Structure 1
Amino acid sequence: MRKVGLLVLVLAVALIPFVQARGPYRLQAIAQFNLVADRGDVRTVTCQYCHVSANGGAPWNAFGNEVRANFKGSIGDALYEALKAMKDADGDGYTDVLEVFAGTLPGDASSKPLVTPQFLMQSLEKAGGVDIYKPK
């Protein structure tokens, strides 16, 4: 019984860095995508921009896989490069950058904007284009 307790403790301590890593990535996405920050004890932005689960972790959704493919040490740069690629990770007819601009999830085909891609592209260009998501 003591061995099981010790094993659980060792695993918990070993996994702390992985659990803590999610917070900064999520906060970077909130800042970079100009999302509304959390209110009190309510998480208004989940990890579902990149992950299947709202709490993050594997598996990643289609957009998350694009971000991972662009990751070279900076989550901000990886997010920007994924948007700059002008791909439609979830295949719903809206590029990832247009989904982020509209506030929908670029890795979830059931989450898509209520306006046309053309209207969104015009609005995005007026706002400064994909470079509004360039990390600062």
Structure 2
Amino acid sequence: MRKLGFLVLALAVVLLPLVQARGPYRLQAITQFNLVADNGDVRTVTCQYCHVNPNGGAPWNAFGNQLRANFKGNIGEALYETLKAMKDSDGDGYADVLEVFAGTLPGDANSKPLVTAQFLTQSLEKAGGVDIYKPK
């Protein structure tokens, strides 16, 4: 019984930093992307901008893989660089930055804006362009 207790404690010590590390990344994305849940509670905003699973962890979706490729130690800069690249990670016809601007998921081809990419591009430019997502 002691061995089991020790094993559980050891796993908690090893895994706790990994779980806690995800929180700041999620909070940075919420802040930088100006995300707000329908009910106004940011705690209900899922991790699906970058992950397949709403709670995060592997596997990452197509946008998450782009983000990981741009990550050089600063999540805010990686988010900005990923959007600035103007890629369409999920291949649905909308650049990632347009999906973030529209509030849809850039890593999920089934989640796409209800307006045209041209309309979103014009609206994004009027709002300040991709630089509205520059880390502060």
TM-score, with structure 2 as normaliser: 0.94
**Structure 1 unmatched runs, 5+:** none
Alignment match, 1:87: 87
Is 1:35 the equivalent of 2:35? Answer: yes
Alignment partner of 2:19: what SS?
helix
Deviations 1:87-125 (A, max 9, x none): 000000000000000000000011000000000000000
Is 1:131 the equivalent of 2:131? Answer: yes
State the 1:3 CA deviation.
1.3
**Structure 2 unmatched runs, 5+:** none
TM-score, with structure 1 as normaliser: 0.94
Alignment partner of 1:6: what SS?
helix
Alignment partner of 2:114: what SS?
coil
Alignment partner of 1:89: what SS?
coil
Q: Report runs of 4+ in structure 1 exceeding 6 Å deviation.
A: none
Counterpart CA distance in 2 for 1:44 and 1:8 is 29
Aligned residue type for 1:132: I
Would you say how many aligned residue pairs link Structure 1 and Structure 2?
135
Counterpart CA distance in 1 for 2:60 and 2:96 is 15
- Please tell me the root mean square deviation across aligned C-alpha atoms, in Å: 1.4
Higher deviation after alignment, 79-88 or 43-52: 43-52
Counterpart CA distance in 1 for 2:108 and 2:43 is 19
Counterpart CA distance in 2 for 1:46 and 1:94 is 21
Aligned residue type for 1:10: A
